[in-house]
Amino acid sequence: MKILSLFGTRPEIIRLSRIFPLLDKNFEHIMVNTNQNYTKELNSVFFEQLKIRKPDYDLKIRTDAYGKEVAEIISKSEDLLKKESPDLVLILGDTNSGLAAIPAAHQNIKIAHLEAGMRSYDPRMPEEKNRVLIDHLSTVLLPYTPYSRENLIRENIHPSKIFVVGNPIIEVIEHYLPQIKKSDILKKLKLKKNDYFLITAHRSENVDDVNSLTTIFLGLEKIYKKFNKKIIYPMHPRTSSKLVKKIKIPNGIEIIAPLGFFEFSNLERNAFCLITDSGTIPEETLYFKKPCVTIRNTTERPETIESGANILTGLDSQNILESVITITSQKPKWQWDDSLGDGQTASKVINILRGKLY
């Protein structure tokens, strides 16, 4: 049986990294990189660190224009699916790379969606539209948590198609924890444990709008004045290209290039607090038991909020500051519940796919 896995962004590559070897072992496995994140720092460095084999195909998506990117992904994946005729397409997440589900469904190819059922219930988010579409085109739905499973059932997806598998980030972190701990990134940046903030902000609604980006930096400036701790910002190329032209960087904020998985994870596990607009970072900080605030009004990962590990701030500089004060001053209580992942996601996925294809 032939499975085609398709991916293109940093979180997808990382979370699939322990699944790829098992796909190679158990199936005829075709790996396809859309290269949606096409800089070395955002793509190939993760193949090198996580020892992922060379993909069979590179779709070479090379545009930040939404319409062109979606059109290229659909068109190029359609041609590839006709050529390879896989029995199943495996997709993780909600990025535009996952829209290969459209030509797959059109060709009556089975689709398995890992990370199914996440809902922010914010229709303005491009990812929300993607994840709903991919879920309703999928044959096999693989949510991380029981909460996501219930979301799918509420949308009239039959329970027989849904299998909770846990979050794959756990086994990735645990497998590579020795290398993460060996990273000398703190020494290179002259940082002390628990004495710096780490921020990631890359969402288009935040970094494509100068006023929004200015608000975020105003919040960071307030945090630095309050805590007197350096703020480390590994900056996405999308952000840096806009920032250099239009915004003055406040004191206390150090802009650095994007990092590899080992370096970034080591910064995460040793930070005083994380500030992000990402959906995946709060999962990682929950595992590392580090406080996190998310610069958004909604999240598709409410489990991170319910655990006490994450606070939503909205796009307001004072709220960002007050949320950081709140989460760093309260007694740590966040716990990684086994329902979020037990380190066995890869083997569960393989067993489910074997059952569906053989």
CATH of the domain at 320: 3.40.50.2000
Gap between the Cα atoms of 165 and 351, Å rounded = 11
Per-residue confidence band for 66, with pLDDT thresholds at 50, 70 and 90: confident
Same domain? For 327 and 193 the reply is: yes
Structural domains of the chain, count? 2
- Supply the pLDDT for residue 247: 81
Q: Could you tell me what percentage of the chain is helix, strand and coil, using 3-state DSSP and rounding each to the nearest 5?
A: 50, 15, 35
Window from 11-20, 114-123, 199-208, 286-295 with minimum mean pLDDT: 199-208
Same domain? For 137 and 92 the reply is: yes
Same domain? For 194 and 159 the reply is: no
- Supply the pLDDT for residue 17: 97
pLDDT tens sequence across 243-256:
666 788 899 999 99
> Going by C-beta distance under 8 Å and a sequence separation of 6 or more, which residues neighbour residue 264?
234
Instruction: Tell me the mean pLDDT in the region 29-46.
Output: 78
Instruction: Tell me the mean pLDDT in the region 137-149.
Output: 97
pLDDT tens sequence across 298-349:
999 999 998 888 999 999 999 999 999 999 998 766 666 665 788 999 999 9
Q: Which of 39, 37, 41 is nearest to 95 (CA)?
A: 37
- Higher confidence at residue 82 or residue 63? 82
- Supply the pLDDT for residue 184: 98
Per-residue confidence band for 64, with pLDDT thresholds at 50, 70 and 90: confident
Instruction: Tell me the mean pLDDT in the region 221-241.
Output: 89
* Active-site entry in 29, 113, 202, 236: 202
- Supply the pLDDT for residue 347: 97
Q: Which domain holds residue 323?
A: 175-339
pLDDT tens sequence across 97-110:
999 999 999 999 99
Which tokens sit at 323? 């949320």
Gap between the Cα atoms of 318 and 244, Å rounded = 24
- Percentage of residues of the chain with pLDDT beyond 90: 78
Same domain? For 157 and 187 the reply is: no
Same domain? For 6 and 87 the reply is: yes
- Supply the pLDDT for residue 65: 84
pLDDT value at 57 more than 80:
yes
CA distances, 260 to each of 12, 40, 192 (Å): 14, 10, 20
3-state secondary structure of 275: strand
Gap between the Cα atoms of 342 and 189, Å rounded = 33
Same domain? For 197 and 121 the reply is: no
Q: Are 217 and 253 in contact (CB under 8 A)?
A: yes
Same domain? For 203 and 288 the reply is: yes
Instruction: Tell me the mean pLDDT in the region 260-275.
Output: 98
CB atoms within 10 A of CB 276: 22
- Supply the pLDDT for residue 148: 97
Same domain? For 199 and 325 the reply is: yes
pTM to 2 decimal places: 0.94
Per-residue confidence band for 38, with pLDDT thresholds at 50, 70 and 90: low
* 168 phi and psi angles, rounded to 5 deg: -70, -15
- Supply the pLDDT for residue 39: 60
Gap between the Cα atoms of 29 and 3, Å rounded = 5
- Name the average pLDDT for the chain: 92
Same domain? For 28 and 160 the reply is: yes
Same domain? For 333 and 350 the reply is: no
- Asked if 202 is an active-site residue, the reply is yes
Same domain? For 319 and 184 the reply is: yes
pLDDT value at 241 more than 70:
no
Per-residue confidence band for 206, with pLDDT thresholds at 50, 70 and 90: confident
Same domain? For 28 and 127 the reply is: yes
- Supply the pLDDT for residue 187: 98
- Supply the pLDDT for residue 41: 56
pLDDT value at 181 more than 90:
yes
